[in-house]
Structure 1
Amino acid sequence: MHTSPRISALGWTPVKGCTWLSASSLDVTSHGIEQDRRWTPVTHGLRAVKATDVPELAGLRLTSEDLPAPDEHLVFPDARTVHYYDRPFEAMVHDDPAAQRISEWIGQPVWLAHTTGPTGFIWSSPISVLLLSELAEAGLPTDTDRYRANVILDDLSAPLPLTVGQRLELGDVVLEVERPLDRCRVIDHNPVDGQRDHHLLPRLRDGLLLGWGCRVLAPGTLVT
């Protein structure tokens, strides 16, 4: 077991690909952050619109208050299969004002899908952890919103050498490192307006790696 450095920041996003939202606390279940990435924009062919294809999504702020209730603005009366890459998710599909905002933002018509399963629209591990020492070592910008991690740890005074299989004790929450995270061009985009303002991928570790994907061993509440 390794007790981590201080939690510098916490964050999540209700709509996958949209603006990262900071939080003073986050509830963690065995499946990850409660309500994190439970929604995704989808084409009318029910394929998820990915931030890798439309990185400008990172500048669109949507909160839980912007999203419809489960029975509002439904396109279909029952759940449909939505594909994120080649991974299927059962989801309810909505055509609501938030979907219309996204459509206007990215210039193509989309709906919003809300997964009915226990996890959000997640490709890798359920919780992402970023070390401030990683940013310092690579000479990366310190506006941590752009990296969209759930947990940001301040280990600048004593860099933490994370490895796969290592456990992190964060208060009553216990995580286990599953993998280093590979990154895409979304980190090149300003998290405020979604416009590209950097070319950061060449600065990352071999394999375009930055941050760590973790699974939950013990749920609880994370607090900054």
Structure 2
Amino acid sequence: MAPVKALATVPRQRVRLEEQGVAEDRRLFLAHADDSVATLRHHPELTRVVPDLDLPERKLRVTLPDGTTATSSLDSTGRRLESRIFGKDRSGHVLDGPVADALSHHVGRSLRVVLAEGGGIGWDEGPVSLLGTASVADVLPPEVPGVGRFRMLVELGDTEPYEEDTWVGRRVRLGGALVRVTHSLKRCVVMNHSPVSGARDRNVLRGLVARRGRDLMCLGVIAEVVRPGDVALGDPVEVTSGGSE
């Protein structure tokens, strides 16, 4: 899960899937001084910053690579910001405080932290992303850092490589939730960067093309939530036929 779009992903033992996804997932995003959305393509070094979002306590804390931290209250919001990226409108309120200052100093460029007006604003393709660990292993050798590289919401065990592609159009039970897989996820150059250092450490995209061809540069799938529910680490995954439950 990525509480702040472009910052490091963080593991969760349990999440609540609602219609718009997980409430904390990509709940905040970053913007430049011209209000354009800042992404890992612009600032790959942001993946080294670890966010800790506490919605009930209304606060965001980030840990920088040197171990220092900065905390801002989610109630310290200023003007409304509207932007657009990847064909989707992004709106929210600028979050004032130390977190924006720390991130700006980290990248050497002014960044604004924006609290989305609700769930579902931060994700690009859909509320739920799924990827099998067997698919990852087919394109990445074990010595290359993989956790967090693909920035998926749910990682799946006990599947065959690219098995999740066969689920498009089908419903999948994830613990107490039910989702419908809508499409495969086309990939970009961001996954060429290490989730640990932010540096480009391997041409994963080229490896994916070599394995699957230029017409299938996909890894993982996107799903919509049919029935909300809790999903925990180790929960069973059950694929149903067609659109039935």
- 1:200 — aligned with what? 204
Give unpaired runs (5+ residues) of structure 1: 1-11
Residues 43 and 142 from structure 1, CA distance in 2 versus in 1: closer, same or farther, beyond 3 angstroms? Answer: closer
Is this contact kept in 2: 1:135–1:142, CA < 8 A?
no
Is this contact kept in 1: 2:135–2:161, CA < 8 A?
no
TM-score, normalising length: structure 1: 0.84
Is this contact kept in 2: 1:171–1:222, CA < 8 A?
yes
Decide which of 207, 218, 221 is 1:212's aligned counterpart. Answer: 221
Q: How many residues align?
A: 210
Is this contact kept in 1: 2:147–2:195, CA < 8 A?
no
The CA RMSD over aligned residues, in Å, is 2.1
CA distance, structure 1, for counterparts of residue 194 and residue 139 of structure 2: 18
Decide which of 179, 191, 195 is 1:191's aligned counterpart. Answer: 195
Residues 57 and 183 from structure 1, CA distance in 2 versus in 1: closer, same or farther, beyond 3 angstroms? Answer: farther
TM-score, normalising length: structure 2: 0.78
Residues 191 and 101 from structure 1, CA distance in 2 versus in 1: closer, same or farther, beyond 3 angstroms? Answer: same
Give, as a single letter, the amino acid of the residue that structure 2 aligns with 1:89: R
- 1:8 — aligned with what? none
Aligned-partner SS, 1:58: helix
- 1:24 — aligned with what? 13
CA distance, structure 1, for counterparts of residue 47 and residue 184 of structure 2: 22
CA distance, structure 2, for counterparts of residue 130 and residue 158 of structure 1: 10
CA distance, structure 2, for counterparts of residue 182 and residue 215 of structure 1: 17
Aligned-partner SS, 2:149: helix
Residues 199 and 82 from structure 1, CA distance in 2 versus in 1: closer, same or farther, beyond 3 angstroms? Answer: same
Give, as a single letter, the amino acid of the residue that structure 2 aligns with 1:202: R
Is this contact kept in 2: 1:82–1:91, CA < 8 A?
no
CA distance, structure 1, for counterparts of residue 128 and residue 198 of structure 2: 23
- 1:114 — aligned with what? 115
Give, as a single letter, the amino acid of the residue that structure 2 aligns with 1:209: C
- 2:47 — aligned with what? 58
Q: Which has the higher contact order (CA 8 A, sep 6+)?
A: 1
1:166 aligns with 2:170: yes
> Identity across aligned pairs (percent)?
24
- 2:96 — aligned with what? 95
The CA deviation at 1:107 is: 1.8
Q: Deviations over 1:22-62 (max 9, x none)?
A: 11111111111121001111012211101222222222212
Residues 167 and 43 from structure 1, CA distance in 2 versus in 1: closer, same or farther, beyond 3 angstroms? Answer: same
1:144 aligns with 2:144: no
1:69 aligns with 2:69: no
Give, as a single letter, the amino acid of the residue that structure 2 aligns with 1:41: L
